[in-house]
């Protein structure tokens, strides 16, 4: 039995150089970054260097990068403070956002009575930009929260179009960029985004650390209270080794971005070719089968399998050593259908199994062949 890891949208394997850097920092730089002695100053220096590195890649100032425990905390920080502190009383989002955004907005609606508008989504999972333009033309203080790349179906938002639309209508723009940072270059001087969330473990860094970009003079206030870490925006002793690990992971991502993107694109193209050839009735969810309209890192396929047999598919794949996801990993413990697929698939297709396969530079064509053979054998 082979072991094939095709669940990179859920989390990624850490690069060797990331593990090395984390280990070295844990061994040598164990001082509390808030301490005034040399051990503390050493840790503080490392953190600030990481902040500068990340800021340079995004073309922002170091003071606009705030370290968090990951994307979920970053989303919560922005959304809650926007309503609580910035006077936002209207949030525009979509029903296919990550639950870190959707559940936070639902809670804010209960707590503060804000108006929540959901932009229409096409049958292929794209945002209806004309509808967004209608929703945004309001007298309310508005924040738009739309993810850059959908974590389940891979659709890519026209982020520049949305940012310009927000700017033209005096609305704030927050994007969950967890699936894109480390895979796509973003210039936040060119893109008029106010807030952005990222997570290290999606680009071969450690779990438990991420960052949020908060544009200067936004007025945002902390979600977590305590000490004055992160310029008062995020209390708590900094996880120095994780922050350094994230910096090293992002450095490697940028250094190898073009070559690795080409490699993974070729792998996705091969997967699409093989699955269509060997399983003719397969369909692709969202735009995931389109190399231009979706991220190169994943596909989401709907398989021609009856409902009773479908229940055994993930179990069988796991027995064969294949790691993948029904919907997203965040949903894996749930018996419910993916909320993303529920919005875009017919009732008939929802009865069939949909599987997300997501790739990294560590995957091979031989692994694709193995997975397609296993799928074909299961269906037949």
Question: Closest Cα to residue 264, out of 220, 294, 229, 240?
Answer: 294
pLDDT tens digits, 281-291: 999 999 999 99
φ/ψ (deg, to 5) at 338: -55, 135
At residue 309 the predicted structure's pLDDT band, cuts being 50, 70 and 90, is confident
pLDDT tens digits, 185-233: 999 999 999 999 999 999 999 999 999 999 999 999 999 999 999 999 9
State the number of CA atoms in the 13 A half-sphere of 323 facing the CB. 16
78 within 8 A of 174, measured Cβ to Cβ: yes
Question: Residue 105 has which token pair?
Answer: 């907005």
Tell me what pLDDT residue 327 has.
58
Q: What is the DSSP letter of 325?
A: B
| Beta carbons within 10 angstroms of residue 89's beta carbon | 15
Give the Cα separation of 355 and 100 in Å (integer).
Answer: 21
Q: Hey, which residues does 116 pair with through a beta bridge?
A: 91
Question: Closest Cα to residue 66, out of 164, 207, 211, 269?
Answer: 211
154 within 8 A of 223, measured Cβ to Cβ: no
pLDDT (average), residues 295-317: 92
Q: What is the DSSP letter of 379?
A: H
Q: Which of 166, 302, 324, 330 is catalytic?
A: 330
pLDDT tens digits, 165-176: 999 999 999 999
92 within 8 A of 142, measured Cβ to Cβ: yes
**What is the set of domains in the chain, with CATH numbers?**
4-12+257-379 (3.90.1150.10), 16-255 (3.40.640.10)
**Cβ contacts of residue 318 below 8 Å, gap of 6+?**
none
Question: Residue 146 has which token pair?
Answer: 């739309």
Q: What is the pTM of this model?
A: 0.95
Is 302 in the active site? no
């Amino acid at each position: 039995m082979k072991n094939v890891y095709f669940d990179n949208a859920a989390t990624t394997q850490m690069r060797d150089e990331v593990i090395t850097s984390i280990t070295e920092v844990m061994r040598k730089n164990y001082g509390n970054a808030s301490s005034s002695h040399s051990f503390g100053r050493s840790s503080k220096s490392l953190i600030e260097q990481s902040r500068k590195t990340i800021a340079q890649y995004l073309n922002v100032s170091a003071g606009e990068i705030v370290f968090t425990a990951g994307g979920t905390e970053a989303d919560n920080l922005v959304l809650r403070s926007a309503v609580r502190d910035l006077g936002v009383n209207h949030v525009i989002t979509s029903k296919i956002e990550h639950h870190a955004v959707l559940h936070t907005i639902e809670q804010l609606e209960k707590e503060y009575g804000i108006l929540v508008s959901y932009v229409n989504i096409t049958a292929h999972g794209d945002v209806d930009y004309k509808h967004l333009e209608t929703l945004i033309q309001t007298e309310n203080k508005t924040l738009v929260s739309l993810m850059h790349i959908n974590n389940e179906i891979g659709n890519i938002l026209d982020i520049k179009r949305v940012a310009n639309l927000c700017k033209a209508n005096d609305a704030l723009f927050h994007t969950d960029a967890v699936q894109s940072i480390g895979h796509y270059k973003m210039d936040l001087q060119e893109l008029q985004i106010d807030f952005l969330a990222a997570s290290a473990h999606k680009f071969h860094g450690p779990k438990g650390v991420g960052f949020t970009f908060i544009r200067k003079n936004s007025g945002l206030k902390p979600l977590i209270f305590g000490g004055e870490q992160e310029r008062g925006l995020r209390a708590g002793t900094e996880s120095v080794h994780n922050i350094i690990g994230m910096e090293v992971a992002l450095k490697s991502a940028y250094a190898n971005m073009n070559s690795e993107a080409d490699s993974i694109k070729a792998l996705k193209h091969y997967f699409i070719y093989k699955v269509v050839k060997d399983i003719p009735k397969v369909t692709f969810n969202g735009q995931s089968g389109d190399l231009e309209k979706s991220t190169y890192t994943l596909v989401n396929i709907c398989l021609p399998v009856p409902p009773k047999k479908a229940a055994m598919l993930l179990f069988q794949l796991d027995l064969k050593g294949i790691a993948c996801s029904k919907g997203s990993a965040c949903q894996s413990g749930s018996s419910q259908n993916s909320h993303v697929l529920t919005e875009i698939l017919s009732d008939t297709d929802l009865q069939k199994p949909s599987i997300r396969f997501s790739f990294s530079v560590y995957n091979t064509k031989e692994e694709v062949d193995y997975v397609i053979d296993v799928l074909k054998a299961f269906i037949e």
